[in-house]
Amino acid sequence: MRTRAHMATVLAAVFVLTACGDAPFTSLGQRTSGWIGEPTVVTTTTVATTVPIVVDAKGLKWFNDELSGAPLDDPAALKVAVFARRAGDLFIQASRTEIAALLPEVKFPTSTPYLSEYVTSQLVFDERGDLADDPVAAFGIWSSEPYTRSRSVAQMIIMSVSVDPEVAADVASPGADNSCERFADRGTEVCAVAMVGGRPVWSLEASNGTTMVWFDGDYRYELFGRAYVAPEALQKMAGGLVPLSELGTTRG
């Protein structure tokens, strides 16, 4: 009895499925697909960005601009006041206005490498308290607050200014030999000379960075950029100079 009843149930199920059509399972996959949904492919678009090589020097913060000394119109008294700050080193911290008062013909680049933020500035003296010649002033360009990180990491640029009127006159004379032989005594790996801003600029490359050398007026400028500073930034700096007094007055 139990077998006959089981067979009857199976036959009834087959009859019902047959009544649904010739292929009762054909829509099963369709219903499943509709419920799960087709996979969504996510696409992204990358927008190219251009990182500037240099920034405007007027936006830099001058670390020593809060320093003050004797009246700026009294050069002798001003030198005494600055020299009194000496703490062992003859590179003595001085403000931009103090340097401009004592060295009015000294110029500074209108642009500096990207990421530069601060400038340190020094006057250089001899042991007697007179201004030195080689160099007479020095500037450091930093990517973070000066002296809070290693110089090799944060001090991107060192620019020195030397009094060198005889060589400056020779370089500017007609027919002057302005080849790399002029700096053959420098321990550099590569030397090149190019006209930048209407004057010859020597590019002296070494393992730790590149030094640009040029003459303006009675001064020789040497601009050292560490190896991670783009040479194009150094060339732009050498090609654009203004008197130090014409820069802005941003302080650190």
DSSP 165-225: HHHHHHHHSTT---SGGGGTTS--SEEEEEEETTEEEEEEEETTEEEEEEEETTEEEEEEE
pTM: 0.79
For residues 33-54, give the mean pLDDT. Answer: 60
**Residue 250: band (very low, low, confident or very high) from pLDDT cuts 50, 70, 90:** low
Rg (CA), the chain: 37
Give the pLDDT confidence of 71-90 residue by residue, as tens digits. 899 999 999 999 999 988 99
Please name which of 73, 203, 222 lies closest in space to residue 159, comparing C-alpha atoms: 222
Nearest to 218 by CA among 181, 156, 167: 167
The C-alpha angle with vertex 119 and arms to 159 and 231, in degrees rounded to 5, equals 45
User: Is the predicted pLDDT of residue 11 greater than 60, yes or no?
Assistant: no
At 91-139, the pLDDT tens digits run 999 999 999 999 999 999 999 999 999 999 999 999 999 999 999 999 9
